[in-house]
Amino acid sequence: MTLRHYLRPTAFVDAPFGHDGKVARLAGGMLWFAAVERVTLDGDRRVESELVPVERIEAAAAVLGAEAERAWCNLTAPRPPLKLRERIVRLDQPQVVAILNVTPDSFSDGGRFEEAGAAARAGFDMAEAGAAIVDVGGESTRPGAKPVWEGDEIDRLLPAVAALAAGGTAVSIDTRKSAVMEAALGAGAAMVNDVSALTFDGRSAEAVARAGCPVVLMHHQGTPETMQVSPAYAKPVLFAVYDWLEARIAAAEAAGIERSGIVLDPGLGFGKTVQHNLDLMNGLALLHGLGCPLMVGASRKRMIGALSAEEAEDRRLPGSLALALKAADQGAQLLRVHDVPETVQALRVWRGLRDAALTPG
């Protein structure tokens, strides 16, 4: 029998006042929870689950073993801010990461920002609207997309990256290729967002480690060309993603990347059915047990269309906001979105509600 225990925070409360010892703070953020769902898998099969009150979880974790004790510590440990050159991005509240695709074929905004000046202006507008980071990509990774030669990718994105960085914007580079990472980081980018979690290019982990910059490791299954062809998992997807990301953290650390600079993304839509995506969103808080900040990219994804009469990409703003707030309600620190002003406004209202709840009456 191969048993593995997972801990998922649940029973969230508005405020901790009057609940000393009965609630815990999630990852140093603005959420408190009163219970943990302890889920046990035997190999690939879920065999048991139990709701454990917070006041009993430390003792329960000690009985379950070092793995559970580590997960409990990770759930309650604050996440240090991300250092993006001279910019500091705090992770004690949700932040917006703006999507800026300088591609002709991205699924939602392909072709809008191919011209360097238009891309830079769009990036500055996103930052002015409240995005903490602008994530620039030069290769579409939508389902069915073909790879782009690294030279073309560099030519597409470098002017926008250089202009935005020179203007003081915190820039992330969305790429799978080490040569593109190095060129963009040299032009002023300060974070790498790799949808392959440093598996596509054998030199990418070395490039990130040498730069000493934060990196986003995203779960995926297959390649963009094939990932949506009957995706399936041996174990429930939430736990499969947890295990896979745990292994990628270990690989990144072995390559010399500091754990404090690792961000995790569950990879909605990358080798997942609609049901898989919904399971991940509903169980997202479990991933805090890995001890790294979470970035969620649900903006305009096909799952929204699937749940709302197959609305086109440009009509998925309400669904995108619903998923963004669901992620915030489970402690996600970074929300990667197309619609920056609208998401920033939604989060400001969310933050106002949290501030009111956390102000003693």
Q: Return the active site residues.
A: 301, 336
DSSP 211: H
The span from the first CA to the last CA of the chain, in angstroms, equals: 51
Q: Name residues whose C-beta falls within 8 Å of residue 39's C-beta, 6 or more positions apart in sequence.
A: 5, 6, 7, 8, 46, 48, 49, 239
Backbone angles phi, psi at 32, to 5 degrees: -125, 145
Measured CA angle at 337 (ends 321, 184), to 5 deg: 170
Please report how the helices 340-357 and 317-328 are oriented relative to each other, as an axis angle in degrees rounded to 10. 40
Phi/psi region, residue 101 (left: phi>0; alpha: psi -120 to 50; beta: rest), is beta
- Strands (DSSP E) found in the chain: 3-13, 24-25, 32-42, 45-53, 82-84, 87-89, 95-101, 133-137, 171-174, 191-194, 215-218, 262-265, 295-296, 334-337
Ramachandran sector of residue 291 (left: φ over 0; alpha: ψ -120 to 50; beta: rest) = left
Q: b/e string for 169-205 if b means 16 or more Cβ within 10 A?
A: bbbbbbbbbbbbbbbbbebbbbbbbbbbbbebbeebb
